Structure 1
Amino acid sequence: MSQLFGNLVSNALKYTRPGIRPEIDITAQTAGESEIRLHALDLKAAYIKIEVRDNGIGFSQEYAHQIFHIFQRLHSNEEYSGTGIGLAMCRKILQNHQGEISVSSQEGAGTAFSVILPLVHKKNGGL
């Protein structure tokens, strides 16, 4: 989990707008049934939704599906350093914990990553 949230906070700090002080808000709440259905998660389980929101450069929402694929980047290495592995790793970590990640973004207006995790992790017979 530390790698997951470390990547999300690191990205929020990396993709800042020039001259704008970075702001990162992290909130948590119980995930609603509509969100659980949207991600095709187990309706019998309880989930928590953790959101990491920033005021960075953002990106066009049409690329939202692309950023979770390994080695897929929206910017060149000259613009922003990186490997294109971080968000793919985040998705894999969440899949291993029966959770899901999604993103909402707008160019010039920041990005919000939503992480949905079960309150009880049931892998290999329990916690």
Structure 2
Amino acid sequence: MPRYIVERAFPEGLDLPINETGDRLCRKIVNTNAEEGVTWVHSYVSLDRTRTFCVYDAPTPEAIRQVGRRNALPVNGITEVSVLDPYFYLGMGRDGHESFVAAHLRTPWLPFSYIA
């Protein structure tokens, strides 16, 4: 499933209360997204609360736009992304093969005994 960063602008500031009302709103968004095969992974909020950068898994950018409309959320930009992290390179030898430790760090859910 492709992963996207969705940029949203809230000129008046994002107002998502940390109470039962906010909980209901988030559940509604998650349920509406699921109807289109879209998963909201998490979001980053600017300190002034006027912008969010949301991580989504979705079949297409159009699916994200559809749920944005249905959830009454702005969609100012959608960028398909892939993961780049410093741990990918940890333990790579000159021959390009990954070390055992590097493989374990990238897949911590595998116990050492399973890999060994």
TM-score interval, normalised by the smaller of the two chains: 0.3 to 0.5
Q: TM-score, normalised by structure 1?
A: 0.30
Decide which structure has the larger Cα Rg and report it.
2
Normalized against structure 2, the TM-score is what?
0.32
Higher helix share: 2
